């Protein structure tokens, strides 16, 4: 009976469109998650590269890593302290927004101490972290 079939085609089309819309929403959600995973993976790679750069700098300047020195305390007595120039350089900052190279005296015929070189290394790494929107510490 043709009278009972009126509008059934329209309902079938609406059901098909609803299912298609749900499928498109699911695909869009998966695409968003894939983009988020890509961004997270990129951030991890940048952090690993920054850590590798710092490790290479420390390996090249092992004397800045730690050493025992004798200092005078407030009573005038000699006391031994273990100094780690890299830890000291990172203590007060987690990133640098601006950076001016101050390492001129550490290159060619000029000499600088291992602590000065460690501070310069730390400033360079902190500046790179700031450029990437990261903080160290």
| Alpha helix positions (H), 6-84 | 8-60
Residue 121 resides in a domain? yes
- How many CB atoms within 10 Å of residue 118? 24
Residue 98 resides in a domain? yes
- Which pTM was predicted? 0.66
Number of folded domains that form the chain: 1
Residue 137 resides in a domain? no
Say if residues 68 and 85 touch (Cβ distance below 8 Å). no
Residue 136 resides in a domain? no
Residue 84 resides in a domain? yes
Per-residue pLDDT of the chain (137 residues; tens, 9 = 90+): 666 777 788 899 999 999 999 999 999 999 999 999 999 999 999 999 999 999 999 899 888 776 666 666 677 777 666 667 888 888 888 888 888 877 677 777 778 888 888 888 988 999 999 999 998 87
Residue 127 resides in a domain? yes
Within 13 Å of residue 66, how many CA atoms lie on the same side as its CB? 4
DSSP state of 20: H
| Segments forming the whole domain that contains residue 73 | 2-131
């Amino acid at each position: 009976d043709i009278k009972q079939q009126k509008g059934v085609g329209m309902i079938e089309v609406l059901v098909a469109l609803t299912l298609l819309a749900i499928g498109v929403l699911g695909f869009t959600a998966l695409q968003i998650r894939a983009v988020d995973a890509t961004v997270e993976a990129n951030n991890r790679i940048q952090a690993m590269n920054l850590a590798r750069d710092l490790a290479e700098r420390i390996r090249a300047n092992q004397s800045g890593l730690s050493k025992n020195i004798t200092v005078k305390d407030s009573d005038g007595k000699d006391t031994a302290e273990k100094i780690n120039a890299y830890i000291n350089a990172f203590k007060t900052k987690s990133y640098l927004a601006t950076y001016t190279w101050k390492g001129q005296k550490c290159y060619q015929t000029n000499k600088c101490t291992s602590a000065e070189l460690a501070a310069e290394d730390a400033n360079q790494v902190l500046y790179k972290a700031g450029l990437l929107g990261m903080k160290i510490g």
